[in-house]
């Protein structure tokens, strides 16, 4: 190293900084280049690898759904139900819409009565699960299209074939930020202030680990910054055992506040109706930046 020319040292430092910025491993001391040509070759290789990495990212766009667009809402509903109930996958997803159990039970009961009306053998009906899924899809669409009395923004990620491969929404809700293990106590301390919370984040399994979930979260954050009244913070709730979603929100700058053991969710079992079960969720919060140059991608 003492005999290396000054320009070689400077070039090596530049290359090392480039590699570090690209999340590459810093070279060991015995691998330090000894010529300008070697340095140029390494730099060119690093740039080529980064270009190849960007080419691997699918051609995906993020779109906001109009709340009165029934066709788009139906497509998102089908995608949500497929991700939350059909696929069995848990990575990069968290949903709370399905807590409206009454609507779901009514829809499934309606399907059951329709079958009885046409004298179909229910126990032998091979598509019974599909009927329950269809009922859940309708319940989800009803939830998406029902006015909430506050701001709401829904985003989908689409591939080059215009297929929905990811979704996320942010909605104003009365969020309880006081930690209590008692349901009654939490209801008594329910906040009167509407706060934005991200829900229904999901990415199709074959498109994960491409930054699509992060893009959807950022889209929600940017939407919140345009709302009136404007919010300087946004929240998210993730199931405690959903490590992928927890890592995603942490990567996006969210801070864990507490774990709420009083949450519930609905699971679709082999019985006639969905079943409500208790689940612990981590409450996250992020303070939004006021920078005007925040980029979506």
Does 41 lie in the same domain as 16? yes
Q: Which domain holds residue 87?
A: 61-287
Express each pLDDT in 101-149 by its tens digit.
434 444 444 444 444 333 334 333 345 455 555 555 555 555 655 555 7
* Closest C-alpha among 250, 148, 252, 244 to residue 205: 244
Q: Is the pLDDT of residue 252 over 60?
A: yes
Does 137 lie in the same domain as 110? yes
| Of 56, 79, 97, the domain-final residue | 56
Does 167 lie in the same domain as 124? yes
pLDDT (0 to 100) of residue 64 = 94
CA distance 27 to 25: 6
**Sorting pLDDT into bands at 50, 70 and 90, what band is 42?**
very low
- How many domains does the chain fold into? 2
Does 33 lie in the same domain as 81? no
The separation between the first and the last C-alpha atoms of the chain, rounded to the nearest angstrom, is: 41
70: in domain: yes
292: in domain: no
Question: Between residues 5 and 264, which one has the greater pLDDT?
Answer: 264
Express each pLDDT in 175-230 by its tens digit.
878 765 555 555 545 566 889 999 989 999 999 989 999 999 999 999 999 998 88
Does 198 lie in the same domain as 88? yes
Does 165 lie in the same domain as 42? no
183: in domain: yes
Does 177 lie in the same domain as 68? yes
| Of 39, 56, 73, the domain-final residue | 56
CA distance 180 to 151: 27
């Amino acid at each position: 190293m003492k005999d290396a020319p000054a320009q070689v040292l400077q070039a090596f430092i530049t290359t090392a900084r480039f590699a570090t910025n690209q999340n590459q491993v810093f070279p060991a001391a015995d691998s330090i280049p000894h010529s300008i040509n070697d340095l140029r070759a390494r730099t060119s290789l690093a740039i080529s690898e980064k270009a190849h990495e960007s080419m691997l990212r699918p051609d995906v766009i993020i779109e906001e759904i109009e709340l009165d667009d029934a066709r788009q809402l139906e497509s998102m509903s089908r995608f949500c139900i497929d991700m939350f109930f059909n696929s069995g996958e848990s990575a990069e997803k968290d949903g709370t819409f399905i807590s409206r159990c009454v609507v779901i039970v009514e829809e499934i009961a309606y399907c059951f009565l329709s079958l009885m009306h046409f004298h179909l053998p229910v126990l032998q009906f091979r598509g019974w699960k599909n009927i329950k899924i269809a009922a859940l899809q309708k319940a989800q669409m009803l939830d998406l299209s029902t006015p909430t009395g506050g701001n709401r923004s829904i985003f989908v990620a689409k591939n080059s074939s215009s297929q929905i491969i990811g979704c996320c929404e942010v909605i104003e809700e009365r969020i309880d930020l006081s930690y209590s293990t008692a349901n009654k106590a939490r209801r008594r301390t329910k906040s009167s202030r509407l706060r934005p919370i991200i829900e229904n984040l999901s990415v199709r399994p074959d498109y994960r680990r491409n930054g699509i979930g992060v893009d959807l979260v950022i889209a929600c954050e940017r939407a919140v910054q345009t709302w009136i009244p404007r919010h300087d913070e946004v929240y998210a709730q993730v199931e405690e055992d959903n490590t992928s979603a927890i890592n995603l929100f942490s990567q996006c700058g969210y801070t864990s506040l507490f774990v709420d053991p009083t949450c519930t969710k609905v699971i679709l079992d082999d019985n006639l109706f969905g079943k409500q079960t208790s689940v612990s969720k981590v409450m996250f919060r992020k303070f939004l930046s006021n920078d005007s140059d925040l980029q979506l991608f």
